Chains A and B, each alone.
Chain A
Amino acid sequence: MMKRDIVYQVVLLAIIAGVAALIISATQTNLARLNVDSSIDFLWKRAGFEIGQKLIPYSADSTIAHAFIVALLNTLLLACTAIVCASFLGSIIGLARLSDNWLVARLAAVYIEIFRNIPSLLQIFFWYFVALRALPRTDESIEFFNCVFLNNRGLFLPAINPEQGWSWLAAALIFAWAAVYFLKKRERRQSPESGKTWTPGSWSLLIPAVIVSAGILLADVSVQTPQETRFGYSGGIVLMPEFLSLVVGLSMYNATYIGEIVRSGFTSIPRGQTEAADSLGLPRHLTIRLVLFPQALRVIIPPLTTVYLNLFKSTSLAAAIAYPEVVSVFVGTVNNLVGQPVFIMAMTMVVYVFISLCIALFLNWHNRKIALTVAS
């Protein structure tokens, strides 16, 4: 390092420290002037407001910290649901664009060009204020199989209700996952000798299936369907209209980007790969599963990370239609209630930075795992 560089760094450090000191002192005088006592105690005060959707028990008597957790879980639920739906829809759109059927490819292209050039907030508004408002009222709801109901109050789904608690079910799922993991590992070891590949049809799949059904029996799971009452439906899972329109809007918007990524992933594979697989006599579905898909995935994952991060960030648009997630509960309701902007904004930013970091790290780790390893 040159001497000049050290001087530059010292100067830079001094500038940063100076600006920080200025901002902190200005903030402190301003807070004192506005009579805001800066302490984090407000988190343990009684919240005093209701939240429309909660994944864990919560009431107006709970603390503000509790409300924060509820809002955070709502954000995560929305992000996960939208990411799953967008990936599913996006893969279909991307593959449809590659179809040799002219109409299918054209329709997918039209879909992408229409929906990616309209702001996502506008799409959410359209679903919330126009499409879902046009749904029938509770007494005329649309029924599917007599257990799923859709009306302008939301989507009512049957719920699984384990009488003996969730722990049996969770344990069964964990054991089943472990069984699949070990079976797959064993198959990897044996297949070079036996020449057989582990396919979803093998008898060994019975083991996880048995474990899951044992878990279901032990937990005494019953299915609770929504029942029509005088005031609407009760029981089961209720997805509020805000949630529905956000999921539909965000996934339809982001599916356009995922579609383009999936398409470019598959078109990036050299034609020789398909031809080589054909000449080996691999059937079409195995060519896709074993040859094309793993190679496409390598191209798909890095840009997909960006789309997932964008989708996660745009869950904050939920504040516009008052779905109770972090921004609307914390920056909106709680900030109006206690007036602690510094802590509240800091907490909100930390949440977003932390979760964005987690998503990026996970997908980078996954990308490294599947990356082409060249023997050295």
Chain B
Amino acid sequence: MTMPVETNSPSSFPRRRGRTLFQGCLSWIRENLFSSPLNVALTLACGYLVAITFIPLVNWLIIDAYWAGTTPQDCPDKTAACWPFIRARFDQFMYGLYPVEERWRVNLGIGLAILFTLPLFLPRFPHKLRLLPLLIVIYPLIGIGLFSGGQFGLAYVDTGKWGGFFLTIVTAVFVLSTSLPFAVLLALGRRSSIPLLRVCCATWIELWRSVPALVVLFVAIIMFPLFMPEGLETDKLLRALIALTLLMSCYMAEALRGALQSIPKGQYEAAEALGLGYWQRTFSVILPQAITVALPQITSNFIGLFKETTVLLIIGLFDLLGMVQNAASDPAWLSQGASATGYLFAALFFWMFCFSLSRYSAYLEKKSSLYKNV
């Protein structure tokens, strides 16, 4: 039995009757690349651009690259990427200066975090909202206990030794989970019926949103000790985390405010008609809907936060980029193509994470717009 010929297949190749695949390709090329003199010129210019950027890059990064070994002698010159540098420093890029024998704690903590958050990303998992308090309250406590130690027979590890990709992840996840509750309060405050509260929340949000993250971090590092009563010394990382939480809660509050505005008025009225009080109304009717609507925006805020963590290196906390920069200035590796390879490696790492998150955000957006159309 022969397969019926598909005439209306939505493929990018318009297969017309009586044409071979080759002819189809040719006509596709003619229509999409060489349809007018301008397009011919553009295609040739772009082809040239690709040839002069991608080919040398692939050559430098992969084909000519030095792959074997772990010492500076293994890559004799700058003409090609120096992967032995990455191999030699990989553990530092991942864990910073965390003691080698204690690194299992980091792995365990990150593993737990993935285990906790994974159900949130599964569309069919039913208890998402119940999992959220677990993630926001219980997990940070487990994480802090596990990473810094000092109790339960775990050796104490100073936060100054935390670094690398581990620090990036810890910062991003910690700030996300702590800023969400504050963001909810700020967003509700900004839409409150009490004028003073509204003005205060709006001023607070707009003030911090108009200042760069770096300045907020400096405020936390330099000013925070001054604000505190004597004897209350806080750790540098903690101060940075507080600063980022403050900033992030303002950004997320704006995302939530947009979502709250999009909830139809009937939802508020229906909840009121059921006799629910303000908090019950907000937390069991309005917020669950608002968070769903705001999820794509929150995800893209999270991507921004993920990229923003690199700023930590300016105040002397070495995240992934900080460790790469630190390693690239090592004199033993200076004359090799080490620094370029290091930066490209870090770029690839960040890119993988941010790109997959942005795909996820796009998927959420598509899903929510599908709901609206039904």
- One digit per residue, 1 when the CB lies within 8 angstroms of any chain A CB and 0 when it does not, for chain B 329-344 equals 0000000000110011
Q: How many residues of B contact A (CB 8 A)?
A: 54
Closest 8 CB pairs of A and B: A356-B210, A117-B354, A102-B32, A119-B307, A313-B212, A316-B212, A9-B196, A121-B310
Q: Determine, out of A173-181, A221-229, A232-240, A342-350, the stretch whose residues face the partner at the interface.
A: A342-350
B residues near A5, Cβ cutoff 8 Å: 193-195
- In the bound complex, residues from chain A placing their C-beta under 8 Å from that of B340 are 126, 130
Q: Which residue of A lies closest to B354 (CB)?
A: A117
Smallest CB-CB separation from B353: which chain A residue?
A: A117
Inter-chain contacts of A130 with B (CB < 8 A): 339-340, 343
What CA separation (Å) do A315 and B193 show in the bound complex? 38
Chain A residues within CB distance 8 Å of chain B: 1, 5, 8-9, 12-13, 16, 23, 26-27, 29-31, 33, 99-104, 107, 113-114, 116-123, 125-126, 129-130, 309, 313-317, 319-320, 327, 331, 335, 341-342, 345, 348-349, 352-353, 356-357, 360
Are B226 and A341 touching (Cβ within 8 A)? Answer: yes
Q: 6 pairs across A/B with beta carbons < 8 Å?
A: A9-B194, A117-B358, A130-B339, A317-B212, A327-B218, A348-B215
Interface-central residue, B39, B219, B229, B343, by most chain A CB under 10 Å: B343
Determine the distance from Cα of A100 to Cα of B28 in the docked complex, in whole angstroms: 12
Q: Mark B310-322, 1 if CB is under 8 A from A, else 0.
A: 1101100000010
Which of B40-48, B87-95, B174-182 sits within the interface?
B40-48
Q: Please state if A313 and B328 are interface contacts (CB–CB under 8 Å).
A: no
Query: Complex formed: what's the CA distance from A345 to B200 in Å?
Result: 21
Contacts of A320 in B (CB 8 A): 311, 313-314
CA distance A25 to B307 in the complex (A): 37
- Distance from A243 Cβ to chain B, minimum over Cβ atoms (Å): 18
CA distance A12 to B204 in the complex (A): 14
Q: Chain A residues with Cβ under 8 A from B346's Cβ?
A: 122
A119–B350 CB distance below 8 A: yes
Known: A103-B47, A345-B215, A356-B210. 15 other contacts (CB 8 A): A16-B200, A27-B226, A30-B230, A104-B42, A117-B351, A117-B358, A121-B310, A121-B313, A122-B310, A122-B321, A122-B347, A125-B343, A309-B210, A320-B311, A320-B314
Instruction: Summarize B's interface: helix, strand, loop or mixed.
Output: helix
Cα A335 to Cα B344 in complex, Å, equals: 34
A60 vs chain B, min Cβ distance (A): 24
Q: Pick from B197, B222, B230, B307: contact of A12, CB below 8 A.
A: B197
> Are A352 and B307 closer than 8 Å at their CB atoms?
no
The binding surface of chain A is classed by DSSP as: helix
Which residues in window 200-247 of B have CB below 8 A to A? 200, 207, 210-215, 218-219, 222-223, 225-230
A104 and B43 contact, CB distance less than 8 A: yes
Shortest CB distance B149–A (Å): 30
Residues of A within 8 A of B355 (CB): 113, 117
User: Are B225 and A335 interface neighbours, CB within 8 A?
Assistant: no
- Which A residues lie within 8 Å of B218 (CB)? 327, 331, 345, 348
> Which interface residue of B35, B193, B226, B351 has the most chain A CB atoms within 10 A?
B226
Question: Bound complex: CA of A30 vs CA of B207, how far in Å?
Answer: 25
Say yes or no for B308: interface residue by CB 8 A criterion.
yes
What residues of B have a CB within 8 angstroms of the CB of A31 in the complex? 226
Closest chain-B Cβ to A197's Cβ sits at a distance in Å of: 25
In the docked arrangement, what's the CA distance between A264 and B303, Å?
A: 21
